[in-house]
Amino acid sequence: MRKNIINFFHTVIIAGVLLSLSGCGYKKPPVYVDDTKKEQQLKQ
């Protein structure tokens, strides 16, 4: 019985570490801004 509880907690800890490392949730694709637009805005 005690060994089952220990194995359960080890499983929970390992799962928590893996989830925190991989991250979860939707991540938007990267946004690339054209350099010429930045230069035009800085000149104005």
Q: Where are the domains of the chain?
A: 2-43
CA distance linking residue 12 with residue 10, whole number of Å:
5
CA distance linking residue 4 with residue 36, whole number of Å:
62
- Alpha-carbon 5 to chain mean position: 30
Query: What tokens were used for 35?
Result: 């350099």
CA distance linking residue 28 with residue 19, whole number of Å:
19
Taking the complete model, does pTM exceed 0.85, yes or no? no
- The predicted pLDDT at position 34 comes to 65
pLDDT, one tens digit per residue, over 12-31 is: 999 888 887 766 566 677 77
Positive or negative: CA dihedral 14, 16, 21, 30: positive
- The predicted pLDDT at position 19 comes to 80
Q: Quote the percentage of the chain above a pLDDT of 70.
A: 59
